[in-house]
Amino acid sequence: MGTWRHWFFAIAIAAVATSAAAADLHISPNIWQPVLVPRPYTQWEIDIGGRYFFSSGRTQSDLFGVIGGPPIFLSRLTWTRLQAQSGELFGRVEHQSGFFIKGFAGGGGITNGNLQDEDFPPLFGGYSSTNSDQHGGRLAYATVDFGWTWRSGGPRFEGSKLGFFMGYSYNHERLNAFGCTQTAGNPFICVPPIPSSVLGITEEFNWNAIRVGVNGEWRFGGGWIVSADLAWVPWAWLNATDIHWLRPFTAPETGGSFSNVQIEALLRYQFVNGLSVGVGGRYWRLDTSGADVNIDGSQQGIAVSSQRWGVFLQGSYRFFVLAN
Task: List, for residues 204-255, the tens digit of each pLDDT value.
Answer: 999 999 999 999 999 888 889 999 999 999 888 899 999 989 876 677 778 7
Q: Is the pLDDT of residue 155 over 80?
A: no
List the one residue out of 209, 97, 107, 83 whose CA is nearest residue 147. 97
Mean pLDDT, residues 144-155 taken together: 83
pLDDT of residue 42: 66
Rounded to the nearest integer, the mean pLDDT of the chain is 85
Q: Where are the domains of the chain?
A: 43-323
- Over the stretch 207-217, which tens digit does the pLDDT of each residue have? 999 999 999 99
- The three-state secondary structure class of 7 is helix
Model confidence over 267-294: pLDDT tens digits?
A: 999 998 899 999 999 999 998 877 788 7
Burial 131-159 (b: 16+ CB within 10 A, else e): bbbbeebbbbbbbbbebebebeeeebeee
In the chain, % of residues over pLDDT 70: 83
Stretch 35-58: mean pLDDT: 80
| pLDDT, greater one: 23 or 322 | 322
User: Residue 41's pLDDT is what?
Assistant: 57
Residue among 90, 69, 48, 17 nearest 276 (CA)? 48
- Whether this prediction's pTM lies above 0.85 is answered by no
Q: What is the DSSP letter of 185?
A: -
Q: What is the pLDDT of residues 51-95, one digit of tens each?
A: 999 999 999 999 998 877 777 899 999 999 999 999 999 999 999
Confidence of residue 29 (pLDDT cuts 50, 70, 90): very low
Q: Which residue has the higher pLDDT, 156 or 19?
A: 156
Q: Tell me the CA distances in angstroms from 248 to 196, 242, 295, one per residue in order.
A: 20, 11, 11
Beta strands in the chain (DSSP E): 41-66, 73-80, 84-95, 99-110, 114-119, 128-134, 137-152, 160-182, 194-220, 224-244, 249-257, 260-270, 275-295, 298-323
Phi, psi of 34 (to 5 degrees): -65, 145
- Assigned CATH for 43-323: 2.40.128.90
The separation between the first and the last C-alpha atoms of the chain, rounded to the nearest angstrom, is 54
Confidence at residue 230, expressed as pLDDT on a 0 to 100 scale: 97
Residue 20 pLDDT level (bands cut at 50, 70, 90): very low
Confidence of residue 158 (pLDDT cuts 50, 70, 90): low
- Stretch 110-139: mean pLDDT: 93
Distance CA 144, CA 102 (A): 6
pLDDT attached to residue 259: 64
- State the average pLDDT over residues 156-163: 76
Asked if residue 179 has pLDDT above 90, the reply is yes
Distance CA 210, CA 159 (A): 30
pLDDT of residue 186: 92
